[in-house]
Amino acid sequence: MIDDDRIQFRVTQAHFRNFQSATYELEWAATYEDGLARLLAGGYEACLLDYQLGPRDGLQLIREAIEAGCRTPIVFLTAESSDRVDIEAMNAGALDYLVKGEISPRSLERSLRYALKLGETLEALRQLATRDQLTGMLNRRELDRILAEESERAQRFGHSLALVMVDIDHFKSVNDTHGHPAGDAVLRRVAQRLATQVRTVDRIARYGGEEFA
């Protein structure tokens, strides 16, 4: 939970203890900076995020976290009902919106359950859109997007950027001699081997056919 109000955190803790069908462990981040750092570190199933966080607000935090790659489902909290804030929160990337004064254990549990399920669905769709179905690596479209993003970042900060291309020699003969199922198995095996040879910050993509990047 990211909220600068300790009392609200205690109230939310009490709601958690009264959940009927689920058990969650609630942690508290009292500042924008701490909340953002925890979100980006990962390891959370969901996040309750307050609108007002000192000089900055929760909408800014959502945008910054998502831009940095955060995929944690976020439920947005605000003190007053507002269609404008509701719409802005959804557009920023929140999966649900709750008014603090109207929250009950039942409504909070329902909201978290809904956000988790929707988050799983969105992640599955994201995987379909960005992953090569045969190897599980990034696909060409996602690689192009990442290259454009990383190139812009490298130019902005004056950093270098490295791209390695890998091609499987004589791959056509594998398909011709042993059949396409064997060729597919080779592609999957090469992808697995590549994944063991890179750093966690590196990306691997199937560029096309028997080519990887």
Q: DSSP of 114-152, one letter per residue?
A: HHHHHHHHHHHHHHHHHB-TTT-SB-HHHHHHHHHHHHH
Give the helix ranges, DSSP H, for the chain: 6-17, 32-41, 58-67, 83-92, 105-130, 140-157, 171-178, 180-195
Q: Are strands 52-53 and 56-57 parallel, antiparallel or unpaired?
A: antiparallel
Kindly compute the dihedral angle of the four CA atoms of residues 5, 11, 12, 18, in this order, to the nearest 10 degrees.
Answer: 170
| 136 phi-psi bin (left φ>0, alpha ψ -120 to 50, beta other) | left
| Residues labelled as active-site residues | 210
| 130 phi-psi bin (left φ>0, alpha ψ -120 to 50, beta other) | alpha
Amino acid identity of residue 16, one-letter, is F
CA-based end-to-end distance of the chain: 38
